[in-house]
Structure 1
Amino acid sequence: MYRFSILSRQTFFLPGSFFFNLAGLALMAVGIWVSVDSGSFLTLLGPFSKQGVQFVNVGYLCIALGAVLVLLGLLGSCGAHGENKCLLLSFFSIILVIYVAEVAAAVVALAYSYFAEDILKAWATESLQNGYSSDVVATTTWNSTMTELKCCGFSNYTDLLGSKFEENEGSLPVVCCWTNIAPCSPAEAERSAVQGCSRHILESLRKHAYILGAITTAIGALEVVAMTVSMYLYCRLDNETSRVISEKH
């Protein structure tokens, strides 16, 4: 049993408990900062601070998730240290449920990725037609996006035809015309043929999706390692218990 105890500590602590405890503490730290010092958090959001109050609630979610991860780490380490089959099996079951949920979410995300461009186009068109010029966040976001990327609309300038911006200003945004001089008429925008922002936006989303996918894959691999180790220790304990019982008889 002594050899098993040493094996359990060395094998389980490194891949499993340490990661869950570290990730949990990091999440809890972020959640506490967002919840307690919301003023600084909203300042970082800049022009989005109007909507930022809604994201402060994310702090409580981070605290809850962090606490769950810390408890999982403690559960696993206690099961390994105490050689407790019940705790090891509980750890394995919880991680398995989380892993299955992640796989299901990945499948759903993959299914919806085929329609991502259409969904994004519908959202962008609605935002340009009704939010641009009337909503501070939408206006600031689109102004910044079109100015920095030197693009107009989502597909092209036609996304802004009949919009509230055109009704209020009597023209299109100056960035839609190559002269960048107001007023920018639809005819001038058509001659300028300024590209839409869709290509840049979709490329940015794909880049972030790849990063998120890599992180998710790494977490999933670590979860598989944690489940494998915990089940190995559980089976090893079961064999040791059976051997001890057989020797007594």
Structure 2
Amino acid sequence: MTVIDDPRYQAHLHQGGGHPKSQPPNAMGRGEKLSFCIVKYIFFGFNVFIWFLGCGVLSLGVWLHVNRGPYMSLVPAYSFLSASSLCITAGCIILIVGFLGCCGAFLENQCMLIGYFVLVLLIFTLEVTAGTLGIVKQNEMREVLKEEFLISIQQDYHPEVKDQNKDNWRSVMNSLQKELHCCGINNYTDWYYVSAWPNEERVPDSCCVRSLDLCGQLDKSYWYNRGCLEEIEYWFIRNMYVLGVVGITVAVIQILAMVAAIILFCYLRSRKYLL
């Protein structure tokens, strides 16, 4: 008697057991479904956080733009690099990324997941490109920024002139000199050519080592000797480790987000073919 003629096998078929090889070859097991659910909800929660982060960054940018506090661009010629413009742009991009991720995971929408992957990949590529250009072209960038700084000092620093943009820029420059303990771009002599006090060897009071009234018109021994551009470079060198860790962390998070989006997309696509 063959296995097929065995009464126990026939009873198994009548009870709905079916042939052991009758399952579709691409059928998803419970383990795969569980893995999909775990990835889906972690991905969804992460992008909810990203969406709220985007709201916060966008709100900060709008607040800076409205108030125009001491956070505007140090280089008026490149106003698009102001803190408010950068925050608004970054906030909008983060909002879009978070929205696509949340909706793509919650609705299990393949198009949104692909859009999410493409957008994050584009951002990642731009970051790598910008970082590479920043390293390769750092000398050229330094000279351009130094030239723009000097022009701004000579033309836009007018304590007596009531102009909102110039007031904001002056506040930024004074704050920078106080915080970094520096004076001018190269050194304090940069202030000798300011149109506000032509042919006078004086500096703003924010250049003074000690806070005294009209100390910018006193002897040079009261002023900081180092230029602010040099101090900014030292700041980046001192914080290179922290900046590197932050950059690597952001890159890893972006890569994991892209991998998760592809995993969800592939699962949804394979499940679609099984229906």
Structure-2-length-normalised TM-score: 0.61
Q: When you count helix as a share of all residues, which structure comes out higher?
A: 1
2:38 paired residue number: 10
Distance 1:231 1:26, change over 3 A: closer
Contact conserved, 1:146 with 1:152, CA < 8 A, in 2?
Answer: yes
Superposition RMSD on alpha carbons, in Å? 4.3
Matching residue within 93, 104, 119 for 1:65: 93
Deviation at 1:13, TM superposition (A): 3.0
Deviation at 1:151, TM superposition (A): 3.4
Deviation at 1:200, TM superposition (A): 1.9
- Give 1:217's aligned amino acid: I
Gaps of 5+ in 2: 1-27, 160-165
Distance 1:74 1:144, change over 3 A: closer
SS at match of 2:173: helix
Matching residue within 162, 170, 194 for 1:139: 170
Larger RCO: Structure 1 or Structure 2 (Cα < 8 Å, ≥ 6 residues apart)? 1
1:123 paired residue number: 148
Matching residue within 12, 20, 24 for 2:47: 20
Contact conserved, 1:11 with 1:229, CA < 8 A, in 2?
Answer: yes
Q: Distance in 2 between the 1:140 and 1:208 partners?
A: 25
Deviation at 1:67, TM superposition (A): 3.3
2:21 paired residue number: none
Residue 98 (1) aligns with residue 123 (2): yes
- Give 1:202's aligned amino acid: E
Deviation at 1:8, TM superposition (A): 0.7
1:26-175 map, 5 Å: 26-32=53-59, 35=62, 38=63, 42=67, 45=69, 61=89, 64-78=92-106, 82=108, 88-133=113-158, 135-147=166-178, 149-167=180-198, 170-173=200-203
Deviation at 1:77, TM superposition (A): 1.4
* Count of residue pairs the alignment pairs up: 230
Gaps of 5+ in 1: none
SS at match of 1:165: coil
1:198-213 map, 5 Å: 198-206=229-237, 211=242, 213=244
Structure-1-length-normalised TM-score: 0.66
Distance 1:141 1:97, change over 3 A: closer
Q: Distance in 2 between the 1:183 and 1:10 partners?
A: 67
- Give 2:192's aligned amino acid: L
Deviation at 1:24, TM superposition (A): 1.2
Distance 1:66 1:234, change over 3 A: closer
Contact conserved, 2:183 with 2:224, CA < 8 A, in 1?
Answer: no
2:228 paired residue number: 197
Percent of aligned positions with the same letter in both sequences?
A: 20
Deviation at 1:131, TM superposition (A): 1.8
- Give 2:189's aligned amino acid: T
Deviation at 1:22, TM superposition (A): 0.6
Question: Which sits farther off after the overlay, 154-163 or 173-182?
Answer: 173-182
Contact conserved, 2:181 with 2:224, CA < 8 A, in 1?
Answer: no
Q: Which has the larger radius of gyration?
A: 2
Q: Distance in 2 between the 1:150 and 1:139 partners?
A: 16
Q: Distance in 2 between the 1:60 and 1:152 partners?
A: 31
